Structure 1
Amino acid sequence: MSQTLQYSSRVLKRFSFLKTDKNFINAALQSRDAQFLPYHDFYPFCHKADMSKLWRFDRSAGSGGMHQSILNSFLDSHKPRELVYLGLIPPKDASAVDTFEYKRCVGTPLFAIDITQHAHVIPDSNDVVKCQDFRHFNDLATDESSLLSLGKMMLHWLATHKFCSMCGHENEVIACGGQLHCPNDECASNGRITNVSFPRTDPVVISAVTNVNRDKVLLCKHRLPSLRDPKRNMYACVSGFMDPSETVENAVLREVWEETGLDVLHVDYVTTQPWPFTNNIMIGCLAVVDEAQPVDLGNDDELMEAKWFPIEDVRRMLDSGLDSYGLLRDPVSGIGLPNDKTIANRLIRACV
C-alpha cells in the first residue's frame, strides 16, 4: 500500500452513533483523558518545539493542571457551534486499563473547539504558533494533519450554515456539533424526509493526463495562483468540482475538455484525499488522451498554460528538492511541482 497522504489517515475511531448520546458526550467532556483541539479562525496551533504536532488542551497530569481552569471557563461560556465531538483516539496499548471507556468504546475523547471569540483561551505564543501556512501543514505528521482536517471542516461547516436553507430560521446545533436542526415548526422541511442537516463535503475530481503511449504527461499552470505570485511557477493537474448527477468518469471527461480542449479516451481511478481548504474530497484519476489533438485553452480561463512533458523530464522534476514554497523545484526548467504530501504529486507519479 502506498504511503498515506496528508489529511488522509484513519487516526480516530469516530463512533459517530455516540454523538447523539448525551450521556456519552457529558462523560467524554468530563473525562480526565479528554483532549481539546483549539482553532482560531479555523486554524489550529502547532508546538514551536515540534512542528510535527498539533497543540491541544488536556486535563492530564502532564499538563500540570494548567489547562483545567481554562477549559472549564470555555465549556461554561461557549456557544453550541464552538464545540464539536470528533471521535476517540484508540489506545496505543490494547491492555491499557485507565483509558476512557463507554459501552465498550475505548479511547481518548477528542473535541474541536472554536476559540476565536474567547481571547483568554488563546495559548501562549511563547510555546505555540498558529498553523495557517502550507509550510506548517507540510511539517505536520500525517495523523496530526488528519485531525487538523476534520476539525477545520466541521467548525467551518457550523459557522457557514447558521440558518435553515428553506425558511431562514436559525439552526439549532445538535449531536455535539455533528448535525444541524431547524426548530421552526412551520418550516417546509418538517414532515418531509428530515429537517436535520449533515456536514457537507464537496467532491472535486483531479486528474493527471497522459498520452496513449504513456511516455508524456500534460502539466498545467493555473491562472489565479500564477497571477497572485508568478515566482511560484507551479504546474499540476486538471481539477474541478463535480456537477450534480455526474459520475466521476464523466466529471473527468468534462473538466479535461473544458480546461484543455482534449477528449479523454479512458479514465482510471487512483485514490482520494480530503482537502480542508475548504471542505473538499479530492477524487484522483488518471486520464488518457490522444496527444495528436491540439491543446485549446479557449473554453475555460482557468489555465494559463498546458503543455506536454516527456516522462524523463517529469521524473527529473519529481526528484527535485523542496523550495521555500514547499514545491519540488526543478533546477533545469525552474518549474515547481506539488510535493509528495499532495494527491497531485501522487497522480503525476502514477504516470511515470
Structure 2
Amino acid sequence: MTEQRTIMFAGSPLNRLSWLRTSHSFLNSILASPKSRWLLFKSGNPLTTKSEGKSILAYLSTKDVGPFIGQAPHFGQGKELGLLASEEQITATEGVRHRGSPIVFLGLHENTSSGSGALPSSEFVDAEKAVAKLEGVPYFAMDVADLEMEEPAIEAALKESEPAKAGTTLTWLDARSVMTNANLFDGSIFAEGRSMVDWNTRNRFCPGCGSRQHSLWGGWKLGCSTLMPWADKAGRKPCPSGKGLHNFTHPRSDPVVIMLAVDETGEKILMGQNNRFKGQFYSALAGFIEPGETFEDAVKREMWEEAGVKAWDVQYHSGQPWPFPASLMCGFYARADSTQPVRIDLDNELADARWFTREEIMSVLNHATGSYLDLAKLAEASSQLNKDASEPPFRVPPTTAIAGVLIKDWAEGKVQFPPFSLNSTGPKGNL
C-alpha cells in the first residue's frame, strides 16, 4: 500500500479534552472564553462567508451566539432556570443541558508553538483559572433549526454579530458543497460538528422507555429524563438505560466499506454507476457493514451483491469520516478475475458496472471536468471551457472523497498490484 495521507474531513487538529466533558464548571468556563469560536448549522447546513470568491466556514464568538444559547448556566443546568445542578457526582447531571438547544463542545485547537499542552482534569478545581491557562481556541457547534425561534428572528440575530456589523455577508451553504471549498482544518471541524449536532437532533427520545432525552457531557452523551434527580418516577418502571453501558447514549459512526477490485493483470479496476446518479458517473463500490461481519467480509459481500464479482486478497488503504450524517468510509482494494461476467441483477443497486483500463482512467483524470461531485461546480467549470471542448467519456469522484483517492492512487501507480495467473479454481501464485 501507499503511504497514508490525510483526506478531506479527517485529521482533526483539535484536542477534544474528553476527560473534562463531565465537568460543567469547565464547560461553562471555556464557553465564556472570548477565544471561543462557534460553528453554526441550520438543518445541517453550515453558516459561511465569502473569501476570494469561495464560501468558507464562518466562526462566531460566544457573544455573537448569545441569542441562540440562552441563559447561563449553559451546562450543569439545575431544575430551576438559572441554577446549577448539584455539585455531587450524579451521573444524570454531568454537564447536563436539558434546557435549550443542544450545544456540542468540539475541542481545543492548542497553541503548540508555546510547548504547552492541555491541562489534566486534576488542575480544574478552579475552572476559570484553569481555562485562563489554556493556550488555543475552543470550538463549539450547534444547530439553530432546533431553537424555538422563527426564521426572521434567527436572521436578525445574525445581523447583530460582529462579522455582519463589519460588512461580512453570512449565508447558509448546502453541507455537501463544503468539501469543494474547505481546507483540511475547516473540513475536519465541519465533519465533527455536523455529525454531532445531527446525532443530538435525531435522538430526542430514549430508546429504552420512550421518554424525552437531554444532552450530557458537552453534547457527547444523551440521558433519559426519567433519570434526573427531580424526575417524577411514581408508577414508572426504571428506564433500562439507567444501568450499564448503552451504545444508544453515545455518538456512533456507521462503518462503510468502499472498494475497488483490481484485475489479474493489475491494469484494470472495476467501477459502478449507481442508479441514483444521472449521467456517466462511475465510482468505487460501497456498502454498510452488517452485524457479524469483518471489513474483509463486507468487501467480498458487497462486490458480489452489487456486481456479481468474487473478490479476495482485501487490502486496507485509508479512511474518511463522512458527516452525512455520521459514517466512517473505510477504503479497500481487492483482487478479482476480469474474465468472469459482471452482473448487476442481484441487488439492482447499479445501473452499470464494468472494468476500466489505466489509460481510460488517466484520460478522465486529466480532463478539466473529469472529476466532480458538486453539480454546481461542474456546471461552472463546464461554462468556462471552450464550447467546442469535448466532454469526458465518463466522470469519477474528486480526491476530496475517498473513492477519488482510491481511483487516483491506483491510476498513478502509487499502489502496486502485481499480475497473477488464473486456473480453473481461482488465482494461482502469490498475490
TM-score (norm 2): 0.72
Q: Is 1:75 the equivalent of 2:69?
A: yes
Q: RMSD of the alignment, in Å?
A: 2.8
Residue of structure 2 in register with 1:64 after alignment: none
Could you give the per-residue CA deviations for residues 294-327 of structure 1, whole angstroms, max 9, x where no partner exists? 1011111110000111111112212222367356
Could you give the per-residue CA deviations for residues 86-110 of structure 1, whole angstroms, max 9, x where no partner exists? 00011264269xxx95497542111
CA contact (8 A) 1:81 1:177 kept: no
Could you give the per-residue CA deviations for residues 176-224 of structure 1, whole angstroms, max 9, x where no partner exists? 2110012435112333445971011111100012102111111210001
State how far apart, in whole Å, the 2-side matches of 1:347 and 1:101 are: 45
Distance 1:43 1:164, change over 3 A: same
State how far apart, in whole Å, the 2-side matches of 1:53 and 1:332 are: 30
Distance 1:187 1:276, change over 3 A: same
State how far apart, in whole Å, the 2-side matches of 1:137 and 1:293 are: 37
Q: Is 1:314 the equivalent of 2:371?
A: no
Pairing partner for 2:223 from 181, 195, 199: 181
Q: Is 1:56 the equivalent of 2:59?
A: yes
Residue of structure 2 in register with 1:110 after alignment: 139
Residue of structure 1 in register with 2:323 after alignment: 276
State how far apart, in whole Å, the 2-side matches of 1:38 and 1:133 are: 12
CA contact (8 A) 1:268 1:286 kept: yes
CA contact (8 A) 1:340 1:346 kept: yes
Paired residues for 1:1-352 under 5 Å: 1-50=3-52, 51=54, 53-58=56-61, 68=63, 70-76=64-70, 79-91=99-111, 93-94=113-114, 102=131, 106-116=135-145, 117=147, 118=149, 119=154, 120-122=156-158, 124=164, 127-132=169-174, 134-184=176-226, 186-194=238-246, 197-226=249-278, 230=279, 233-322=280-369, 325=375, 326=377, 331=390, 333-352=392-411
Q: Return 135-144 or 181-190, whichever deviates more.
A: 181-190
Residue of structure 2 in register with 1:63 after alignment: none
Distance 1:248 1:194, change over 3 A: closer
State how far apart, in whole Å, the 2-side matches of 1:317 and 1:256 are: 24
Distance 1:32 1:115, change over 3 A: same
The gaps in structure 1 that reach 5 residues or longer are: 60-67
Distance 1:332 1:266, change over 3 A: farther
State how far apart, in whole Å, the 2-side matches of 1:121 and 1:82 are: 18
CA shift for structure 1 position 81 = 4.1
Distance 1:56 1:263, change over 3 A: same
Could you give the per-residue CA deviations for residues 131-156 of structure 1, whole angstroms, max 9, x where no partner exists? 21544431111110111111110010
Distance 1:22 1:48, change over 3 A: same
Q: Return 207-216 or 330-339, whichever deviates more.
A: 330-339
Amino acid at match of 1:319: N
State how far apart, in whole Å, the 2-side matches of 1:196 and 1:177 are: 14
CA contact (8 A) 1:179 1:197 kept: yes
State how far apart, in whole Å, the 2-side matches of 1:112 and 1:306 are: 40
State how far apart, in whole Å, the 2-side matches of 1:215 and 1:72 are: 58
The gaps in structure 2 that reach 5 residues or longer are: 75-98, 117-128, 228-237, 383-388, 412-431
Distance 1:179 1:80, change over 3 A: farther
State how far apart, in whole Å, the 1-side matches of 2:266 and 2:100 are: 53
State how far apart, in whole Å, the 1-side matches of 2:177 and 2:61 are: 26
TM-score (norm 1): 0.87
Say how many residue pairs are matched. Answer: 337
CA contact (8 A) 2:49 2:168 kept: no
CA shift for structure 1 position 52 = 5.9
Amino acid at match of 2:224: C
Could you give the per-residue CA deviations for residues 218-269 of structure 1, whole angstroms, max 9, x where no partner exists? 121000122xxx3xx2100100110012100000000000000000022110
Which protein shows a greater Rg? Answer: 2
SS in 2 for 1:225: coil
Q: Return 213-222 or 86-95, whichever deviates more.
A: 86-95
Residue of structure 2 in register with 1:62 after alignment: none
SS in 2 for 1:48: strand
Q: Percent identity?
A: 27
SS in 1 for 2:207: coil
Distance 1:350 1:176, change over 3 A: same
State how far apart, in whole Å, the 1-side matches of 2:5 and 2:354 are: 29
Amino acid at match of 2:34: R
CA contact (8 A) 2:261 2:269 kept: yes
CA shift for structure 1 position 37 = 1.0
